[in-house]
Structure 1
Amino acid sequence: MILTEHLSKAVDELAPRDRPIMLHASLRSFGAPVAGGVDALLDAFLACDRTVLVPTFTERQFGVTPPVGLRPLRNGIDYSEFPAVPTVTEGTPYTTDCGLINPGLGVLPAAVISRAGAVRGTHPLNSFAALGPLAGELIAAQSPSDVYGPIRELAARDGLIILIGVGLNRMTALHLAEQQAGRRLFLRWARNVDHRVSMVEVGSCSEGFPRLGSILRPHVRTAVVGGSRWQAFPARPTLAAATAAIREDQGITRCAADDCLLCRDSIAGGPQTT
């Protein structure tokens, strides 16, 4: 059994007081039940006035078919898979209180948005949510045309990115490094509150991010809780190192799939919008 004191000890070792922390976590990685479950893990991080930031993406729930007039080239997508003209009016607009989240993100983001005081961003497909004293400031930095604003704000406030039992392919912040290295973010489609379809920024493939491991290793601190390996990265120097590496070698983030359109088009620079 993983006890509260085990969690608190690791958090105190890795996460300074009063700092914002971006979390990616797998509870299965502990290899044993966690007393109090995901709420105990979340509470351990929220102690000492820390703020927790998590991705709360909803592409599956609120993404729509690309309209013919909004299909930029080199956008990491095969438009032949879609009808020339959508035949069905899809979905309802995203709202910050929708309570929905992509199931693949795990139980921690779901726990965050269920808490009183949680603040969630307005991005309809790639929102972030935060809980704690700096939640409002972090989330205010996000908009549909600035998807990774909260991560940029996290870095500006000397925050950390902590991976709990997951690898670099789950570090969402590295998409900001891609953008800072000169890549244009991909564009996808969602309904505004007036039900009109517009394009919003989203990230690329992340399965090649572990190739940045040797570059980011000097910045990482680690802890082990049960069977779970925790990695803590200071956001500012981590993003700077990743940005420099991608700028020097755009192919460094390529995943193992030869036919990955996301990697191909991202490495080429991203969407051609003119």
Structure 2
Amino acid sequence: MIPSEHFSKAVDELAPRGRPIMLHASLRSFRAPIAGGVHVLLDALLANNRTVLVPAFTEPQFGVSPPIGMRPARNGIDYSELPAVPTPPEGTPYTVDCGLINPGLGVLPAAVISRTSVVRGTHPLNSFAAIGPLAEKLISAQSPSDVYGPIRELAAREGVIVLIGVGLNRMTALHLAEQQAGRRLFLRWARDPDRRVTMVEVGSCSEGFPRLEPILHPNVRTVVVGGSRWQAFPARQTLAAAAAAIKADQGITRCDDDECLLCRDSIAGGPQPT
């Protein structure tokens, strides 16, 4: 069992008091149970007036097929592989109180959205959720046409990005760095509150992001808790360094799959204006 004081000590080493934290975590990385469960870890992160921000994506639940007239070129999709006639949208549109989350995000984001104090964004596919004194400030920066507004706000408030047992391929903030380097974000489709299909911003392939590690390494701070390696990156400096590296070498984020359409189109600049 990993006692709660180990978490408190690690958080105090990596994240200043009163600052927001963007979190990506794998609880399996601890290689031992957490005494008291995931909410003990979350409470340790929230201590000392901190705010916790996590991705709360719902693309599997609320994404829809693209209408014929809403298919921009160079958008990371081979439209020829889609049905000639899109499946009509079914079900209800996304709402901030839907209680759903992509299961692949892990246990900790699910714990965040289960809290009554959570504030969640309105983006139907890539919402963020936050708890803490700055939650409203962070989340209000997001909209369907500004998916990474909360990360930009995190950086402006000198927040920290913490990776718990995961690598740079899980750092969502690097998609904002891609945008800041001049790439246009990909577009996907969802229902708006009036049930009309609309296009919204989403990220690209992230499997090549570990190639940025030598550039981001000078700013990282590391601790070990149980079997889990924690890395803390200052958001503002990390975004600036990553954006500069991508702007200088667009191919630096390419993943190992030579056929990756997401990487090809992102490196080429993203969706072409319609």
TM-score normalised according to structure 1 size: 0.99
Deviation at 1:116, TM superposition (A): 1.4
Amino acid at match of 1:70: M
CA distance in 2, matches of 1:56, 1:88: 25
For residues 98-247 of structure 1, the aligned pairs below 5 Å read 98-247=98-247
**Mapped contact 2:65–2:87 kept (Cα < 8 A):** no
Amino acid at match of 1:181: A
Deviation at 1:239, TM superposition (A): 0.3
Deviation at 1:79, TM superposition (A): 0.7
Deviation at 1:101, TM superposition (A): 0.3
| Residue 19 in structure 1 maps to residue 19 in structure 2 | yes
CA distance in 1, matches of 2:63, 2:89: 12
CA distance in 2, matches of 1:46, 1:231: 17
Deviation at 1:117, TM superposition (A): 1.0
Deviation at 1:89, TM superposition (A): 3.1
Give the 3-state SS of the residue equivalent to 1:199 in structure 2: strand
CA distance in 1, matches of 2:53, 2:81: 35
Give the 3-state SS of the residue equivalent to 1:65 in structure 2: coil
Deviation at 1:273, TM superposition (A): 1.9
CA distance in 1, matches of 2:157, 2:186: 27
**Mapped contact 1:215–1:242 kept (Cα < 8 A):** yes
Give the 3-state SS of the residue equivalent to 1:68 in structure 2: coil
Q: Which moved more, 1:56-65 or 1:90-99?
A: 90-99
Alignment partner, residue 81 of structure 1: 81
Deviation at 1:91, TM superposition (A): 2.9
CA distance in 2, matches of 1:146, 1:77: 21
Deviation at 1:84, TM superposition (A): 2.1
Alignment partner, residue 38 of structure 2: 38
CA distance in 1, matches of 2:138, 2:267: 29
CA distance in 1, matches of 2:196, 2:147: 19
CA distance in 1, matches of 2:100, 2:181: 32
Give per-residue Cα distances to partners, 1:131-175, cap 9 Å, x unaligned. 000000000000000000000000000000000000000000000
Give per-residue Cα distances to partners, 1:91-137, cap 9 Å, x unaligned. 32000000000000001111001101100000000000000000000
**Mapped contact 1:160–1:232 kept (Cα < 8 A):** yes
Amino acid at match of 2:263: C
Q: Which moved more, 1:149-158 or 1:32-41?
A: 32-41
Number of residues paired by the alignment? 274
TM-score normalised according to structure 2 size: 0.99
Give per-residue Cα distances to partners, 1:152-201, cap 9 Å, x unaligned. 00000000000000000000000000000000000000001111000000
**Mapped contact 1:143–1:149 kept (Cα < 8 A):** yes
Q: Which moved more, 1:136-145 or 1:35-44?
A: 35-44
RMSD: 0.7
CA distance in 2, matches of 1:264, 1:88: 29
Alignment partner, residue 265 of structure 1: 265
CA distance in 2, matches of 1:28, 1:86: 39
Amino acid at match of 1:186: F
Give the 3-state SS of the residue equivalent to 1:175 in structure 2: helix
Which stretches of structure 1, 4 residues or more, deviate above 3 A after TM superposition? none
Give per-residue Cα distances to partners, 1:61-89, cap 9 Å, x unaligned. 00000000000000001111212222433
Amino acid at match of 2:161: I
Gaps of 5+ in 1: none
Deviation at 1:37, TM superposition (A): 1.5
Give the 3-state SS of the residue equivalent to 1:48 in structure 2: coil
Alignment partner, residue 69 of structure 2: 69
CA distance in 2, matches of 1:90, 1:260: 30
